[in-house]
Chains A and B, each alone.
Chain A
Amino acid sequence: MKAIKMLSLPIIVGLLFFLTACPPPDDPLPVTGKISFKFEHFVNGDTAKFDKLIYTNAAGNQWELSEVQWFLSDVTLYKKNGDSVVLNKWTFYHYVDTDIPKTFDWDIVDKVDTGDYEAISFVFGFKGERNKPYMFVNPPENQMFWPEYLGGSEGGYHYMKMNGFWKNPQNFRTGFNFHLGVGQKQDVNGERIKVKVGNDSSFVFVQNWFVVKLNNTKFNVKQDKTKLITLRMNIDSWFSTPHNYNHDIWGPDVMENQRAMQQIKENGFDVFTVSSITDK
């Protein structure tokens, strides 16, 4: 009996502690900020001027810019410690159109952990599994339609349309459609290659999307603040490094010329720079 009495006091006290103690704290809310993008288009170090035959590219073609329309997707941020985060929870892409100024701004909905970041990357265009025919039903995105005949089931939309004019060897101002999207595998004669699929045959397609990684893009995301990253497309770079892209050689259109699109793709790796990072 005495033992029971002796035990009951600490039990009661313990129970009281247990019942009155504060509940264990929840996991702390992640401390986050946000990222916004601003897009700008430059030629030869200056803001692009449209509808004027005033530029000369690395191959010596005189050329004029009419419009640039393009997609980027799967923006990724890289932390100092090597971790990365893809900002695609709400929307995985953004469309930029030099004819539609409101497309120059993109506020990413995804929240970003605070801290230091070292680099940014994005996919120019779309990865194949994302680029489904008919996924866009409304303008302006649906106007980037890339025919299934040319791109297959993983090539529904242009990555980019850059349209303009150049002076051909006959000094005639004529249009070019510098378009990038899914290509077609071709033989040495430029004929499309087919493979047997069951009793049928199918064209072979070539994915031309690529990752643009902007290393040494250091910035810090602060709690409840938005970091504004201004991304610049240096349009003249599409025509140089590593290839001097010559309109006289490749002609007005390239959507069925994988060799030309391969050059465009390789020229695209260094087309983008980050021109500023500021607090918004």
Chain B
Amino acid sequence: MKKFKDILIIGSIIPLIKIIILPLSVVSVSLTFLASNCERDTLIPPFKETPYVIDAPVGMAWWPTANIPADNPMTVEKVTLGRYLFYDGRLSGRLGCDSQMSCGTCHLQKNAFEVGLDNPRFPGGLTKGIPDAQYPNGKPTPHYMLPLINLVFNNSGYLWNGMINKNNPNLGSAAYKVPAVMPYHMKNIEGLVWMGIAAQHEMNTTVEKAVNMIRSINANPNYHELFKKAYGDTAITYDRISKAIACFIRSLVSYNSKYHQWIRKEIPKLDPSEFRGYTIYMSERGDCFHCHGDPVLLTTNLFYNNGLDSLFNDPRDRSGYTKNPLDKGKYKPTTMLNIELTAPYMHDGRFKTLREVVDHYSDNLVNSPTIDPLMKWIAYGGTKLKESEKNDLIAFLKTLTDYQFIAEPKFSKPADLKTGCE
């Protein structure tokens, strides 16, 4: 019996080698190979994005749905990259300090990302493009600018005429020198960025120049590293540039004005004059609220003819986009948030002070066939506020200034950004 067992064992060795040991060896070698590969992979950290949470106070559940396109989710890395690009004058494709222009050249944080009357480059607030042979002093922008505040919550269209909106099927814009090919859509803030870079009355550069300039920058900041963190590799493209800047612009959320703190019951009351102004604003007496009433955004983002003119020749009013003659003279009402900081006012910057604006709605409305029915005191030239009411209304408007927003470090120019013109 023992012999039989020995024979059996000895006789089984060869097939055992074939059946078990050989494959095991192959597996073992493979595993070793794989293990070494895994080890190598661990040396390269996998691409990791950090979702960006839009800043908003706890318990303030009044925000509209954020307007964030599916192909450009907000991440911390893209917002960070976008902040550098927003403030980098070399994005204009130029190195000369007298010609560099960034988004931040015109959109000053201290003016709630509006140009302001005191802009060092554009005193008075009329912005101009970088000069060229055709416009040696720079082509003036067709409209005065709108502030970059809470744009992430605008679902009704950007610019004074709402041309950039989710339903716009157009690619590119000949008027703004944006190529009419993918991905240059005119649907969202990314489209605004493309316009800002390419338009003759803004940075007045080309796609290629802007991209090549950013590609050439390896220090302060190292854009290759920033793009790698934001997108997983170092490729620098125009599409990625616009997406990162759009993410930064979407992060510019303002919610800490005195008025906001009051309606959140964080402060007990407004000053008496401010409160009287609030009752004028929020009643038919001043009737500001029908166009600027939304408690968070302080604009409807719709379009109105607010009685500025009787004749219309602006190709960029609302009718310029809709082609509907009934939209002549219509524009978007700007947010009232930080309105104290965002002079000059109206699409053509005709008013320099809040008092001039209040005087317009009180006494100086101009009739026209497309005047909005909300301008219902047009027969009297306006709401006819008393002097004291005007002062109270302006006192209230100043409660809409968000001092924390305009001093927020994360929205400011990065300290380590060096463009050679500091």
Residues of A whose CB lies within 8 Å of any CB of B are 51, 66, 133-134, 137-139, 142-143, 145, 147-150, 163-165, 168, 170, 172, 174-177, 252-253, 255-256
Contact = CB atoms under 8 A, between A and B. Distances in A.
A142 B376 contact: no
B290 A175 contact: no
Contacts of A253: 284, 287, 376
A174 B378 contact: yes
A139 B284 contact: no
Contacts of B22: none
Chain B CB within 10 Å — which of A138, A164, A176 has the most? A138
A138 B65 contact: yes
Interface stretch (B174-182, B249-257, B275-283): B275-283
A175 B371 contact: yes
B378 A177 contact: no
Contacts of A165: 373
A142 B64 contact: yes
Given A149-B283, A174-B376, 13 more contacts: A51-B326, A137-B65, A139-B155, A145-B295, A148-B282, A150-B283, A164-B373, A165-B373, A170-B379, A175-B374, A175-B376, A177-B374, A252-B376
Chain A CB within 10 Å — which of B62, B282, B372, B376 has the most? B376
B278 A175 contact: no
Contacts of A168: 379
Nearest to B380: A174
A177 B373 contact: yes
A150 B376 contact: no
Interface string B2-26: 0000000000000000000000000
Contact of B293 (A139, A147, A177): A147
B374 A139 contact: no
B175 to A, nearest CB: 27
Contact of B155 (A66, A138, A176): A138
Contacts of B293: 145, 147
A142 to B, nearest CB: 6
Interface string B28-67: 0000000000000000000000000000000001111100
Contacts, number: 73
A134 B60 CA distance: 10
21 contacts: A51-B326, A133-B295, A134-B62, A134-B295, A137-B64, A137-B65, A138-B64, A139-B64, A139-B301, A143-B294, A143-B302, A147-B289, A150-B282, A172-B379, A174-B379, A175-B373, A175-B375, A176-B376, A177-B290, A177-B374, A177-B376
Q: Classify the interface of chain B: helix, strand, loop or mixed.
A: loop
B273 interface: no
Contacts of B312: none
Contacts of A139: 64, 155-156, 300-301
Chain A CB within 10 Å — which of B63, B326, B373 has the most? B373
Nearest to A51: B326
Contacts of A137: 61-65, 296
Contacts of B155: 138-139
B321 interface: no
B377 interface: yes
A145 B376 CA distance: 18
A168 B155 CA distance: 37
A230 B326 CA distance: 30
Interface string B279-315: 1001110010110011110001110000000000000
B166 to A, nearest CB: 12
A201 B376 CA distance: 32
B371 A149 contact: no
B63 A252 contact: no
A163 B372 CA distance: 9
Nearest to B278: A149
Chain A CB within 10 Å — which of B293, B372, B375 has the most? B293
Contacts of A175: 371-376, 378
A149 B378 contact: no
A145 B282 CA distance: 10
B299 to A, nearest CB: 10
A139 B297 CA distance: 12
A258 to B, nearest CB: 13
Contacts of B295: 133-134, 145
A149 B279 contact: yes
B158 to A, nearest CB: 14
Nearest to A168: B379
Contacts of B376: 174-177, 252-253
A150 B282 CA distance: 8
A148 B375 CA distance: 22
